[in-house]
Amino acid sequence: MKARSRLSFARLSRTLPFGLLALGAACGSPPAAQAPCPTGPEPSATAGATPEQGPATPAEADAFVAQVNQDLKKLWTDAERAAWVKANFITHDTEEIESQEQEAVMEYTARKIRESQRFADVQGLSPDTARMLYLLKYSAGLPAPSDPAKRKRLAEIATQMESMYGKGQYCSPKLKGKGEDKNSECLSLEELSKIIGKSRDWDLLLEVWKGWRTVSPPMRPMYQEFVQLGNEGAREIGFNDMSEIWKGGYDMSAEDFEKEMDRLWTEVKPLYDRLHCYVRARLRKQYGADKIGVKAPIPAHVLGNMWAQEWTTLYPMMEPYKGHGQVNLTPELVKKKYTPIKMVKLGEGFFTSLGMPPLPKTFWERSLFEKPKDRDVVCHASAWDVNMSGDLRIKMCIEITHEDLVTIHHELGHDYYFEYYKDQPPLFQAGANDGFHEGIGDTLALSVTPSYLKKIGLLDKVSEDPKADLNLLMNRALEGIAFLPFGKLVDEWRWRVFSGRVKPNDYNKAWWELREKYQGVAPPVARSEQDFDPGAKYHVASNVPYTRYFIARILQYQFHRALCRASGYEGPLYKCSIYGNKAAGQKMIAMLKLGASKPWPEALRAISGETKMDATAIIDYYKPLIDWLDDQNKGEQCGWD
């Protein structure tokens, strides 16, 4: 699958990319007479209360959060419209306007967090007010320094890094004719990624892998300054550094959150290790023992993905039983003349089958479904509610592939989450935690089963062949299981950078140490501190928190198991599809409507009856594959040195 979606800006900051904002009609001023951008709505009398006014009261806290909700809805909506235009029209002007919008949001959020500290010890707060104050405290994922010049600089850096990534390309005579323009030797990320996914030429893969990583070194000094300014802002609102904010807001302490992530990783690591062992053995047969060591980390450029985070494009090489079942629908989609719109309609039909409403007319009028030929856009798939009141959209350069069909289901999961909590106050318009938002989209992808595909006419028959089942599970594991360590390590690297545990002169070294530790992968050529390989990943360049995706993969299977039980299904978990089941739909809706209004264990209870994240559902789902891998790996030296 593609790298996971970017949620729209009008969410709590802990759920969005802090570098993506754009047009707001230049803060409402005509271009020829642009006035300075405001720093956000002026505080009301109650919202700006100071300690000199006497002890704070619950009534003042209620008034404070009411005003903040009102102000944030306007700020976030303006920023969301700006972000939409910037993502669809990458120009110097939209970058500048984006920076202004981002600066306004950062300033207001930081100011209100400081003001909210007045209510920290107030007794008798209503549950809703107390929760809104808690969420506000952790909402500044990119906290702005109070110094206007530093705040402006932070916004500029965030915008510039995202734009550098979005416009990135690699030019080499070795690549001439390998992109869409057969006369060009310059390829975009999408074109380079296609080569990584399809080619098995060691040297070509190496050229492409190295080439994309020429985009990120210019970001390195910018990122160092970005961290310094963000940490300064964090200290101004009571945190030691940004890592404390990023690990907070999960209804537990930062320390407990780290322990929880380690617990979940420990539960799934044995399954990942089995898959890694099997994949490495197959790659050794392909490339030879001189290139793929018996007990060595796997070179990162041969795993079929630019970041080695998902390995589905290697499926033909990894397929357990050739010719059994059909796990790739791309030929069928092409044969049946599917278009991007038709693929999205198919995804919408899944949600309406659960008892959810059709997407609004404006969704079809305002979304971006195909890559324009006349301009640069951010093709990274994303879901949006531009006005926080149901202006749903997706932005995606859809291709007629199985992969994009699954991604569409994922993005629509975000949009339906937006739809169901749109009546909540703005501070509650977010997932129960940020992993929930990603997890819902991923959950629906597990219901894209052969039985579902037969019902919608994309398969003629459903095979009862156990070998076909293993092929399906392998295909799913190359995406879902292969991703888990990467999902954990990206933010672990950033937490260490933010806290100062990793110094700027060790950025790249620390990155590859974590990649080897968790993934068992290594760079195919020597890397140095002249490189900035973390910045070659969208979520680092755009400052999007990443642990949410690790949490989402855990919740994905836990949600799926719960919804299958609610539907009355009793067979193997990997064969279950909740398509058409209203009982499962009602369970999902009960959770979606809560937004962030309740601690995440309560939202988890609404859908599953459980209050603890549980990785055993993953083990249940892949049990036949686990047994098969154990047999296949006999005689292999699993693990890596």
Q: Which residues are tagged catalytic?
A: 380-381, 410-411, 414, 438, 539, 549
Q: Is 238 exposed, middle or buried (0-12, 13-18, 19+ CB in 10 A)?
A: middle
117, 45 contact by CB (below 8 A): no
Residue pointed to by tokens 């954990």: 488
122, 57 contact by CB (below 8 A): yes
441, 409 contact by CB (below 8 A): yes
Helices (H), 167-253: 189-198, 202-212, 219-236, 242-246
Helices (H), 523-615: 538-541, 547-566, 582-592, 600-608
- Sign of the alpha-carbon dihedral angle for 317, 322, 323, 329: negative
What is the C-alpha separation between 296 and 418, in angstroms, rounded? 44
> What is the three-state SS of 60-106?
HHHHHHHHHHHHHHHHHHHHHHHHHHHHHCCCHHHHHHHHHHHHHHH
First to last CA, the chain: 29
CA-based nearest residue to 158, from 229, 109, 76: 229
What is the C-alpha separation between 318 and 478, in angstroms, rounded? 9
230, 143 contact by CB (below 8 A): yes
- Sign of the alpha-carbon dihedral angle for 413, 419, 422, 426: positive
Q: How many CB atoms lie within 10 A of CB 334?
A: 11
Q: How many CB atoms lie within 10 A of CB 641?
A: 10
Cβ neighbors of 563 (< 8 A, separation 6 or more) are 443, 578, 581, 584, 587, 588, 607
Q: What is the DSSP letter of 297?
A: P
User: Torsion angle, CA of 8/11/14/18, rounded to 10 degrees?
Assistant: 50
The CA R_g of the chain, rounded to the nearest whole Å, is 24
Cβ neighbors of 27 (< 8 A, separation 6 or more) are 34, 35, 36, 37, 38, 100, 101, 104
Helices (H), 372-465: 402-421, 434-446, 450-455
What is the C-alpha separation between 196 and 184, in angstroms, rounded? 18
Q: How far, rounded to the nearest angstrom, does the alpha carbon of residue 537 sit from its chain's CA centroid?
A: 12
User: Torsion angle, CA of 197/200/203/204, rounded to 10 degrees?
Assistant: -40
Cβ neighbors of 26 (< 8 A, separation 6 or more) are 34, 37, 97, 100
Q: How far, rounded to the nearest angstrom, does the alpha carbon of residue 354 sit from its chain's CA centroid?
A: 25
Q: What is the DSSP letter of 141?
A: S
**For 576, what's the count of Cα atoms within 13 Å in the CB-facing half-sphere?**
24
What is the C-alpha separation between 255 and 490, in angstroms, rounded? 18
